[in-house]
Structure 1
């Protein structure tokens, strides 16, 4: 049994900034999450056609911006012009897509922590992992607590590991496929981040016994949070910045 390394992150992590209270993955959302007292945030990062790391969850632009098509096929100069707030509410109309560097500088200035999910456009997994990790290593150089890099894509985590092996990594899982724990170990991960319904005592013990941490997404009900805390898991990603007290 391996003892987990010291864990510098809080239990509670705000999903995409402020969950659904503000347009996801915008600076407005992260500011709102911080106003609710949250100290760590999750975001989604991908690459523009000309190599700029920016925040967006979907491969395509339609759901959360005024643009159309595959986001990663456009240069940053085009992406920077899009409205990423009007889809949510009139209050946020005109909110732009941020770069990861925008968000990093805000987090560092306010002593806030970040979980960066590497969300590559299909076919760019390794390149996106490398780019995100290289940028994160530069932006957080000298900081006490680095960002936690996570991805559903093993190739993205391998790229991140090769570019910046000192940055902590976590494997995201929506099901426990055969060999999932070994895969995380091979990638040098410090955490497994699962759909919260997948955790039971056996799985939590296996992960923690391997020297890793057990985190969960996306937890929006009190009963689910109470179950995960009772299981001894290490982190909870939630949309409900208005329901849960991150100090609890």
Structure 2
């Protein structure tokens, strides 16, 4: 059985990450799920932004947690991806509504309204000045959309075990993905993660420690792997029985899978 393909921050290889344009492109390309990172703004909105500050993606020195949503909405979150685009006379006109800050609510609406099932993997970023409020707001959002029951399309991911514990208490039926960056963390994690939690190692770690995947699956946990962009990495995931791959290039990965 082939792995599910999720778009990492949208179709972010070709489009600016976390923009509505990147996610619509991913859906048009057939992505079966969307992955996003979320942070809280100063006025309590969940927005899809990876970094704590905006220097890389919006050419701004601001910090997401200290800014209101209205301030973020004035920024261009896409120009950095194609800095020479304005010099291309043949490039289609930009739709600026696809390039501004994206709220989690808007992304959920896109998923809910799409004409086929689309899964949504939401990563909560830590550390943050708002602590557990991030998970509470995420669960409130999933409750609004009716996605906290068994079989819902949403899963919550984090490198923070404490963050996923909060989600476990607030929404026990929502799938949890314990992200793991270093193989040495597994012996400790295996003693504390929930029986039905998914493990999310990075592809670089699996390349270096392929036996780790066998140990994780032997302990009864599915594997969701990030960020899978190359044929060799996809084949490694398939050989290890990985259930989902998160990719910057969903169309390319789907094509390799023959989907």
Bin of the TM-score, shorter chain as denominator length? 0.7 to 0.9
C-alpha change, 1:49 and 1:215, in structure 2 (3 Å) is same
> What's the TM-score once normalised by structure 2's chain length?
0.83
Q: Is the 8 A contact 1:191 1:214 kept in 2?
A: yes
C-alpha change, 1:79 and 1:162, in structure 2 (3 Å) is farther
Q: Is the 8 A contact 1:194 1:215 kept in 2?
A: yes
User: Could you list the per-position Cα deviations for residues 12-65 of structure 1 after superposition, in whole angstroms to 9, with x for gaps in the alignment?
Assistant: 111111022111011100111111111211111111112111100001011111
Structure 1 partner of 2:88: none
User: Could you list the per-position Cα deviations for residues 70-111 of structure 1 after superposition, in whole angstroms to 9, with x for gaps in the alignment?
Assistant: 111112221222211111124657411111000001011113
Q: Does residue 118 of the first structure (1) align with residue 127 of the second (2)? A: no
User: Could you list the per-position Cα deviations for residues 207-234 of structure 1 after superposition, in whole angstroms to 9, with x for gaps in the alignment?
Assistant: 2333321111111110111011011111
**In 2, Cα distance between equivalents of 1:45 and 1:140:** 19
CA deviation after TM superposition for structure 1 residue 235, in Å: 1.2
Structure 2 partner of 1:37: 30
Q: Does residue 99 of the first structure (1) align with residue 92 of the second (2)? A: no
**In 2, Cα distance between equivalents of 1:113 and 1:56:** 19
**In 1, Cα distance between equivalents of 2:49 and 2:215:** 33
Structure having the higher Rg:
2
Structure 2 partner of 1:192: 199
**In 2, Cα distance between equivalents of 1:39 and 1:247:** 14
CA deviation after TM superposition for structure 1 residue 126, in Å: 1.7
Q: Does residue 220 of the first structure (1) align with residue 224 of the second (2)? A: no
C-alpha change, 1:244 and 1:70, in structure 2 (3 Å) is same
Structure 2 partner of 1:152: 159
CA deviation after TM superposition for structure 1 residue 66, in Å: 4.2
Q: For structure 1, which segment, 31-40 or 113-122, has the greater mean C-alpha deviation from structure 2 after superposition?
A: 113-122
> What's the TM-score once normalised by structure 1's chain length?
0.86
Q: Does residue 180 of the first structure (1) align with residue 189 of the second (2)? A: yes
C-alpha change, 1:191 and 1:142, in structure 2 (3 Å) is closer
Q: Does residue 243 of the first structure (1) align with residue 252 of the second (2)? A: yes
> Does the residue aligned with 1:183 lie in a helix, a strand or coil?
coil
Q: Is the 8 A contact 2:155 2:177 kept in 1?
A: yes
> Does the residue aligned with 1:149 lie in a helix, a strand or coil?
strand
C-alpha change, 1:12 and 1:244, in structure 2 (3 Å) is same
Structure 2 partner of 1:78: 71
User: Could you list the per-position Cα deviations for residues 95-132 of structure 1 after superposition, in whole angstroms to 9, with x for gaps in the alignment?
Assistant: 11111000001011113211111124533332212211
**In 1, Cα distance between equivalents of 2:105 and 2:258:** 27
> Does the residue aligned with 1:244 lie in a helix, a strand or coil?
helix
> Does the residue aligned with 2:223 lie in a helix, a strand or coil?
strand
**In 2, Cα distance between equivalents of 1:241 and 1:109:** 20
**In 1, Cα distance between equivalents of 2:111 and 2:124:** 18
C-alpha change, 1:242 and 1:11, in structure 2 (3 Å) is closer
Q: Is the 8 A contact 2:53 2:64 kept in 1?
A: yes
- How many residues of Structure 1 are paired with residues of Structure 2 in the alignment? 238
Structure 1 partner of 2:218: 209
